[in-house]
Amino acid sequence: MREFVRPLALVVALGAGVSGVGSISALFVPSAMAQNKPPADAPAQPAMKQIALTQKQIDGVLASAKEMNALSDKLPENAAPDPKVTAQFEAVAKKNGFAGYDEYGLVVDNIGLVMAGFDPATKKYVGPDAVIKAQITRLQADTKMPAKDKQQTLADLNEALKHLPPAIENQGNIDIVSKNYDQLIEVMGDEDE
């Protein structure tokens, strides 16, 4: 079973590890990805399966968020999968209309893919490249961040621009996420707000 997903910023999802910079879109990503940048020689990850999202799936994610986050918060970092905890994640997913945790994760991944392209200021979909470029601009104007951190964060953001998520195959997903944007941001969290 893959690790539970945690709310983090887009660039963290891309493996860049950025924090303390103005808000971009929050999304759930596997916690292992957030903590461990893959080595440069690591094999390419298989493409994420994109699905057409439904309102029922969005409602299920919204309804399960509090319990999923509570379970995730109890997990020690880099812990080996515990069958007891795995069963709890499965039960919460099933209780909220999913076939299991894998389906829940697929839905959350698809929501996250769309959320990565939302401008948090306008709440409009602009694409992940535009979101990262806007964050670079805000960071360059930031006079409070220590120079060393700023330099590393800029490097991470520029690296993230080279590894953008795939284009959204199901354009209707943008509309459904937009319709539910405020609720999704609320339950998925946004560490910079």
* In the predicted structure, residue 17 carries a pLDDT above the cut 50: no
- pLDDT, residue 1, reads 38
Q: Which residues, other chains included, contact 99 with Cβ-Cβ below 8 Å and sequence gap of 6+?
A: 93
Query: Per-residue pLDDT averaged across 120-144, rounded?
Result: 94
- pLDDT, residue 47, reads 77
- pLDDT, residue 64, reads 96
Question: Model confidence at 189, in pLDDT bands (50, 70, 90)?
Answer: low
Contacts of 90-96 with C-beta under 8 Å, sequence gap 24+, read 92/64, 92/67, 92/68, 93/64, 95/64, 96/60, 96/61, 96/63, 96/64
Q: What are 146-177's pLDDT values in tens digits?
A: 999 999 999 999 999 999 988 999 999 999 99
Q: What are 60-98's pLDDT values in tens digits?
A: 999 999 999 999 888 888 878 788 989 999 999 999 999
Ramachandran quadrant class, 17 (left: phi over 0; alpha: psi -120 to 50; beta: rest): left
Q: What are 19-63's pLDDT values in tens digits?
A: 333 322 233 333 323 333 444 555 556 678 999 999 999 999 999
The residue behind tokens 């409009």 is 124
DSSP label at 192?
T
Query: Per-residue pLDDT averaged across 1-19, rounded?
Result: 34
